[in-house]
Amino acid sequence: MAEGGRTAEVMRAIRGRIAARGLTPGERLPSIRGLATLMGVSPSTVVEAYERLAAEGAVRSRPGSGFYAASLAPPPTLAEIGPRLDREVDPFWVSRQSLDGEPDIPKPGCGWLPAAWMPLDPLRRAARSLARAEDAVLTDYGTTRGPAALRRHLARLFAEEGLPVGPDRILLTGSGTQAVDLVCRLLLRPGDAVLVDDPCYFNFQALLRAHRATVIGVPWTEAGPDPEWFAEAAASHRPRLYLTNSALHNPTGGTLSPAIAHRILNAAAAHDVTIVEDDIFAPLEPEPSPRLATLDGLERVIRIGSFSKTLSASVRCGYVAARPDRIEALIDLQVATHFGGVSPVAAELVAGVLGDGQYRKHLESLRRRLARARRETAERLSALGIRPWLMPRGGFYLWCMLPDGCDAAGVARAALREGVVLAPGDVFSVSRTAPDRMRFNVAQMGDGRVMPVLGRALAMPEA
């Protein structure tokens, strides 16, 4: 049945509210008279629209009681909050494929190092020490901030980078992602605008969508976000937050320049934007690069990090460094939603590895090994016509341009059929303007299957 103009308009409005969870399953639809007045249509048009929606199953009518959003439908998923993207290239695609893929398939699309590149001996020593830990470490909830010794260690690391903060301004969390999530819960309301880099870490988009934020991309240049674009977006969208990886930017591996850092901070100050700087890749830098947190001194910047990239992703431990009033509020929030932060067992393992003489050597050799892998991967990719957009100073990512006319999503789908997980460019791009880009994890390119599969997928991408 064709939908008449005004009836269709009402139907679209109700479908939109259901899709955006403005109406949840079982919830009563707006009154017929009320919606008619609101939309400037006749009550009979609304009745007609509701009955057509009932016919298609989106709405249920209860005799004598009105219309309700259908409750037989599955509850809305996160993916339905935003525009329904093709799951092949939505922000969950890479995480779900990487986390749940068979353990032995190559995953150049994933965001972590192979187990063999991690500090296994220190981790095993830390586990043996754990077996002899104090009783309470093995059995009790931890303190709300996390163990003081580990926070003091972080405070020393920050001081070396030029950010002097006491351990009382550091809160340990269940993970780096949880730290970003807690900050968003504290500072965002549904509908708030948030600036991110374009491209940015795909899970920032997934997380911000879970907060029902409006995500605004700022083009990322080789030296940071485009400062003029940033200032304009800050003025016109009045965002609450800017969420970024400044050191070894994900996915490009780029580094923020001091001049851009300064301009970004000034624009953020002018428009009262709080900055969340996720420095999870910082330990992989050859030397510390400019930090927004360091320039600002944690007034406007909240610094976040974790140990997942260099110590262990299994031992979950993240942190937030922020103003004392924010730390207090985050503690309440973390107690309410997780009944505490880092697991004392996890904190003990992390502290054990950090205190292991071999860990610093591990970091040094890891940086050398990654530098070699970046060079070698770039060379091997160039044989397929794939070129890095820039050569990063550190880290394990190469953000690459595919040969002319190649569609990265199609290439990723074709590679997945052959058991190789890739990370196509648009997953990272809010504006979806990176269809010909691909992020490669140079530490995950060692498997002999990767290059042949990639070559075939480039030649015959899947539509």
What is the crossing angle of helices 408-417 and 450-459, to 10°? 130
Smallest Cα–Cα separation from 274: which of 192, 206, 190, 172? 192
| Cβ-based nearer residue to its own copies, 21 or 369 | 21
Cβ neighbours of 256 (radius 10 Å) = 25
Least distance to its own copies from the beta carbon of 272, Å? Answer: 4
Cβ neighbours of 409 (radius 10 Å) = 22
Q: List the structure tokens of 251.
A: 């996915």
| Cβ-based nearer residue to its own copies, 99 or 159 | 99
Q: Is 54 in the site for its own copies (CB under 8 A)?
A: no
Least distance to its own copies from the beta carbon of 217, Å? Answer: 18
Q: Is 314 in the site for its own copies (CB under 8 A)?
A: yes
Which range touches its own copies (CB under 8 A), out of 151-159, 173-181, 378-386, 420-428?
Answer: 173-181
Q: What are phi and psi of 406, to 5 degrees?
A: -80, 140
Q: Is 65 in the site for its own copies (CB under 8 A)?
A: no
Site string for its own copies, 427-456 (x = CB under 8 A): ------------------------------
In the region spanning residues 66 to 85, those forming contacts with its own copies, defined by CB under 8 A, are 71, 74-79
Q: Is 43 in the site for its own copies (CB under 8 A)?
A: no
In the region spanning residues 316 to 345, those forming contacts with its own copies, defined by CB under 8 A, are 316, 323, 325-326, 328-329, 331-333, 335-340, 343-345
Q: List the structure tokens of 69.
A: 């959003």
- Per-residue CA distances from 114 to 103, 105, 111, 423, 443 (Å): 11, 12, 10, 16, 7
Least distance to its own copies from the beta carbon of 295, Å? Answer: 20
Give the interface size with its own copies as a residue count (CB under 8 A): 91
**Cα–Cα–Cα angle for 16, 33, 46, rounded to 5 degrees:** 50
Least distance to its own copies from the beta carbon of 107, Å? Answer: 11
In the region spanning residues 106 to 165, those forming contacts with its own copies, defined by CB under 8 A, are 112-113, 115-116, 118, 120, 123-125, 127-128, 130-133, 135-145
Site string for its own copies, 360-399 (x = CB under 8 A): ----------------------------------------
What 3-state DSSP class applies to 393? coil
Half-sphere exposure for 115 (CA within 13 Å, toward CB): 9
Q: Is 86 in the site for its own copies (CB under 8 A)?
A: no
Report yes or no: 33 and 43 within 8 Å, Cβ to Cβ.
yes
**Cα–Cα–Cα angle for 207, 209, 214, rounded to 5 degrees:** 120
446 exposure class (CB count in 10 Å sphere: 0-12, 13-18, 19+): middle
Q: Is 31 in the site for its own copies (CB under 8 A)?
A: no
- Per-residue CA distances from 49 to 10, 28, 64, 320 (Å): 6, 15, 18, 50
Separation between Cα atoms, residue 120 and residue 16, nearest integer Å: 50
Q: Is 312 in the site for its own copies (CB under 8 A)?
A: yes
Least distance to its own copies from the beta carbon of 215, Å? Answer: 13
Amino acid residing at 127: A
| Cβ-based nearer residue to its own copies, 124 or 360 | 124
Which range touches its own copies (CB under 8 A), out of 202-210, 281-289, 412-420, 432-440?
Answer: 202-210
Least distance to its own copies from the beta carbon of 27, Å? Answer: 8
| Cβ-based nearer residue to its own copies, 46 or 234 | 234
Least distance to its own copies from the beta carbon of 180, Å? Answer: 9
